[in-house]
Amino acid sequence: MRFIDALSKKIDGEIITDDTAVLRNYSHDKSPFEIMPRAIVFPKTALDVQELVKFAEEHADDEQRITLTPRSAGTDVGGGPLGDSIIVVFTKYFNHIVRIGGDYAVVEPGVYFRDFEKATLAHNLLLPSFPASKSICALGGMLANNSGGEKTLVYGKTADYVQEMRVVLRDGAEHLIRPLNTEELKEKMRRADFEGEFYSRMFEIVDRNFELLQSARPRVSKNSAGYALWDIWDKKTFDLTRLFVGAQGTLGFITEARVRLIRPKEHTRMLVMFLTDLHQMAPIVSEVLLHKPETFEVYDKSVLKIILRFFPEFVKTVGGSIFERAWQFLPELKAVLLSLRLPNYILIAEFTGDDETDVAETVRAAEHALKRFKIATHVTNSEHEAEKYRAIRRDSFTLLQHHIHRKQTVTFIDDVIVRPELLPDFIPRLKQILDEYKLVYAIIGHVGDGNLHIIPLMDLSAPDTRRIIDELTHRVNHLVFEFHGSITAEHNDGLIRSPFLPEMFGAEVYALFKETKKLFDPYMIFNPRKKIDASFNYALDHLRHE
């Protein structure tokens, strides 16, 4: 490849084009999609990233036009880090924790969160926006997706913690992006260069359309769909970090970020609730939220069935002896005896604080407030026991996937969110749609936010799989729109949800998304087919067949 020979003279990083095993390894993520790239680049320095962008811009009109798709750990479930040209991998060399301060850290995008967490916890500090995949994900993906997870209920998403970042933009320069007051913004806009241009034009977009953008903001507690134009300007502060966090590398490449950290609470207790009547969910959620839990999760009975069916392997996953773990399942057995059947939903609320007595009193008060609902409840007695419930939430479908012949977890309707009080109306209609296709599936998620992860098990080689994914995606997304929710609360758009952004936000707001993309990426070199001009058929054409 002639363009690779030319590129190799410009960067110090590694370029791989002829190793089929390596190319195939980066052709997929945790989504059901697969796209074979032409090359893999491991940049060593920010200068390498700058040269990559300049090179792509210079060759934008060539026959061998190249595009650049960023990738960190590759744990995305929507196809975000997949592309058919150059995949730029950050985990090999951009993997340094630059600094940990009194309440912040400076970190590169290729740092695995597990390593970052270990380092910050040594200072009694934590970035609380980690997703469920925290043991395998990297900071770059968390920034690109504006990730959230179990602690989002109290602490918010990744965008809430980014204080500043360095981003390589289409001019091939690395720019420092941080919140600006009005005087600092005016100074930026007076510049006679690309930085002056993008500050001026972005200010014009968000200020001219301020009311439209505020009305377009999804009316749910968290959202990763589209570009968060409504969060950039509040008439006092202009913050472009809110644009780049969650942009999935479609506007430029993040090379470094400074993130705010919190001090985790010292003590924790967990309240577990067993529901048989779905219509009790909304008032129970409302009641528990009054007591301010730090996390509030849900999984349905299919998950519990998985654990009970493959119990020895579950014990291997979470540790401990079979007898010890079996004893810890007495609350579930009690709930079954009380109702003569498995509970339909298990809700888990975790309460934290710095005073152990206060935490114990809070969790008991929450449990007492639920007496009127006549449901089975249980308060965990130890951190070890609480970890059982976290592990159920985290590992159950891995177990199921390993035991269902030729089927795997397929993520395409996996991150919907509606207001929590709407769940009793939303879930039955959702299940009615899903049950028409006779799928094995589970529903897990963050009930305190109304965020559900629907995970079907499917055979990707089956002849009707494409049709089912096509139909179900449209039907579930339309149901979410009917309930004024978002089709992605924390996983972002990727290949699978980007095609629905015009419908979700309307033509006027989508036009502003396109205007933003054109400003930062007129030649469409940054992670194409995500966010803007995406094709649902293209996504379906790249389903794995295995």
Contacts of 505 (CB under 8 A, 6+ apart): 216, 225, 226, 513
Angle of helix 311-318 relative to helix 301-309, nearest 10 degrees?
90
Residue 535 token pair: 């094709």
The domain tally of the chain equals 4
Same domain for 285 and 250: no
* Amino acid code (one letter) for 316: K
Same domain for 101 and 55: no
Same domain for 168 and 116: yes
Position 309 scores a pLDDT of 64
Query: Which H or E element spans position 366?
Result: helix 356-369
Same domain for 423 and 312: no
DSSP alpha helix (H) spans, 123-209: 139-145, 152-155, 182-189, 194-208
- Asked if residue 372 is part of any domain, the answer here is yes
Domain boundary among 403, 435, 460: 403
CA distance 484 to 501: 13
The CATH number of residue 33's host domain is 3.30.43.10
- Asked if residue 420 is part of any domain, the answer here is yes
Helix (H, G, I), strand (E, B) or coil at 152: helix
The CATH number of residue 237's host domain is 3.30.465.10
Q: What is the 3-state secondary structure (H, E, C) of 344-358?
A: CEEEEEEEEECCHHH
What secondary structure does DSSP assign to 86-128, as a single string? EEEE-TTTS--EEEE-SSEEEE-TT-BHHHHHHHHHTTT-B-T
Position 440 scores a pLDDT of 85
What secondary structure does DSSP assign to 500-516, as a single string? GHHHHH-HHHHHHHHHH
Same domain for 150 and 29: no
Write out the residue range of the structural domain in which residue 55 sits.
2-89
Same domain for 306 and 243: no
Position 322 scores a pLDDT of 42
What DSSP state is assigned to residue 381? S
Position 178 scores a pLDDT of 98
Domain boundary among 219, 242, 260: 260
Same domain for 274 and 356: yes
Same domain for 393 and 275: yes
Neighbours of 340 (CB within 10 A): 7
Same domain for 443 and 411: yes
The CATH number of residue 430's host domain is 3.30.70.2740
Same domain for 103 and 237: yes
Domain boundary among 457, 489, 521: 489
Low-confidence ranges of the chain (pLDDT < 70): 1, 306-341, 393-406, 546
Same domain for 412 and 384: no
CA distance 51 to 173: 9
Position 325 scores a pLDDT of 47
Same domain for 362 and 225: no
- Asked if residue 497 is part of any domain, the answer here is no
Contacts of 439 (CB under 8 A, 6+ apart): 456, 457, 458, 468
- Asked if residue 247 is part of any domain, the answer here is yes
